[in-house]
Structures are given as structure tokens and as C-alpha cells.
Structure 1
Amino acid sequence: MLHDVLLFTVLVGLGSTIALDIWVTLLEKVIGFPATNWGMVGRWLAGLGRGQLVLDGANASSPSGAEKALGWAFHYGIGFAYALLIPLVFGPGVIAQPSVPPFVVIGLIASTVAGLVILFPGMGGGFFASRLPNQGVTILYLIVAHGVFAAAEYGTARLVPALL
């Protein structure tokens, strides 16, 4: 049982996060919409330890290697956390028989809301990206990207039973 949950978490978390990264890289190359700067996310995370809840624009320098590493580790850690939430919230039966609703709830809805109410405000973009000049486009982009993430979670999860 624990082995199944761990295997599910690693495969689904890794597969869906890689798929998301491919999607946002493709969009950046094709339409020019910038991908998340995980180095700046790392800078924000480092600031949390010093009591700085919101990344201000005072330090616009390029992120350091450590900030980039922290940001990317966080990004993949969150992917694993969302994968783990699926069997924790919906029960371990979802591992053997994946169905779409758990992946929509966790992979699309929960991850999108977390981005809009935690990550965007923390990065200085405001609650629901309200401080950004292209709020509607940003929210749509986030929904589509997390739809890709959720679809990749489900697709990867469909492969897991064959490996058990």
C-alpha cells in the first residue's frame, strides 16, 4: 500500500510537472508568453524565512544559482505534493482505478487557486493577479496550463497500475 502511494506520487508528480514545463516552454517560444521565473520564486521563498511575505521589486537583479535551485526544487516538490494529495483525499483506490474527477479537483482547481491566492500575491502580483496589467490573460493562461498539468496527472496515473 505505502509502496503503491509512493510510486504513484513520484511517477504522477514527475510526469505531470515535466508535461507542464514542456507546455509553458512551448507557449513561450510560440506566442512569447513568459514562463514562470522559478529563480524569482526561489528568491521569494528565501525571503519568507526572513519574514518577507511579498517579493518587492527592490531587488531586480538576476536570481542566483541557489535561488534558481530553490525555485525549481519547490516547483517539482509541489508537483509531487499534488500527486500525493490525490490518493490522500480520494483514497488509495484511485491508484488502481484512476478516474477524471480527482485530477480535475487537485490538478486543475486546487493548483490554480493556490497559484492565484498564494503564489501571485507572494510574488507581488496581487490576489488573483490583480496588480498585473493583463490580469484576465494571466488567469486564463494559468487555467489552461493547470489543465495541461491535470491532464498529464491523469494520463500518467493511467500508466501506474501496469507498473504495480
Structure 2
Amino acid sequence: MEFLVKAVLIGSGATALLDLWALLLFRVFAIAPPNWALVGRWVGHLPSGRFVHEDIAAASPLEGERAIGWVFHYAVGIAFAAALLAIWGTGWAHAPTLVPALIVGYVTIACGWFILQPGMGAGVAASRRANAMQIRLLNIAGHTVFGLGLYLTALILR
């Protein structure tokens, strides 16, 4: 039970910090935050066997796609916190160290670059987007924040 509670709390805390980071980028630099409705649309099409879209924005909209996207976003954060605890043990949550959290944060970049972005039509590492390098740098920065969030949330909870 401790494992599950720690995974939910640490993953949710890290994901919330990532969301605050996105809000800061929007307010200070006018960089649009992720559109979780489009992520929800992608997730919503998965059960029908549709894993890759030419352009997710052109795919059929789904009822509740924004909620689906937000739930997926937090579920993934929790899953990565669970992976961290599975690899480094629940003892890590009692005496958190930064390196394991950052490793997990950086692994999450690969999931976006090689699963989510191609599936939504952006290409590998957003290669089909005109601002691919900006997206990649934002991904690296954001997932660094996520890794820091894993660490900081564990520190707060210990």
C-alpha cells in the first residue's frame, strides 16, 4: 500500500509542478501550454486501433477528450513515479536523491518524442513541426522540471 500511495502522491506532485512550469512559460513568454484535449483525442482513438494520426487536430473530436487528456497526463506522471519507486525502491522516497528522479524525468522525454509526438502527427521528436527545435528544448526543460518535481515532492512527503 505504501508503494501505491507514494507513487500517486509523488507522481501527482511532479506533474502539478510541470503544469505550474507550463503556466509560468505562458504568462512570462506567451508560450502556449500543452493542449490536453488533443492528447485526450489521441488516447480516445487508441481503443479503436488508431495509434498514429496524420494530424491529431484533424481527427474526429471525442466527447470528454479534454478530461481524458488531463487524466492521462496525471496517470503517466504517476506511472513514472511508480517506475522510479520500482527501480530504486520505496526507500528512495524516505531518503530521496536527485539523480534517480532526473533519470526518470529524462526517460519521459523519450516517450514524448518516440510515442506521443509521432502518434499525434508531429513526427519523431516533433520533426514535422516548423519549430521542432523549440519544442525539443521545451520538452527537455519541462521534463527536467518533472524530474525535479519527483525529487521535491518526495522531500516534502518524507
Unmatched 5+ stretches in structure 1: none
Give 1:64 shift: 5.0
Equivalent position of 1:72 in the other structure: 70
Q: List, as ranges, runs of 4+ consecutive aligned residues in structure 1 with deviation greater than 4 Å.
A: 61-65
The answer to whether residue 95 in structure 2 is matched with residue 101 in structure 1 is no
Give 1:58 shift: 7.5
Equivalent position of 2:8 in the other structure: 10
- Over aligned residues, Cα RMSD in angstroms? 1.8
From the superposition, tell whether residues 120 and 59 of structure 1 become closer, same or farther in structure 2 (CA, over 3 Å). closer
Aligned to 1:45, the other structure's residue is in SS state: helix
Count of matched residue pairs: 158
Paired residues of 1:4 and 1:95 also in contact (CA < 8 A):
no
Q: TM-score, normalised by structure 1?
A: 0.88
Paired residues of 2:56 and 2:121 also in contact (CA < 8 A):
no
Q: TM-score, normalised by structure 2?
A: 0.91
Unmatched 5+ stretches in structure 2: none
Give 1:4 shift: 2.3
More deviation, 125-134/55-64: 55-64
Equivalent position of 2:125 in the other structure: 128
Distance 2:76 2:118 in 1: 17
Q: Percent identity?
A: 37
Distance 1:55 1:116 in 2: 15
Give 1:57 shift: 3.2
Give 1:19 shift: 0.8
Equivalent position of 1:91 in the other structure: 89
From the superposition, tell whether residues 123 and 58 of structure 1 become closer, same or farther in structure 2 (CA, over 3 Å). closer
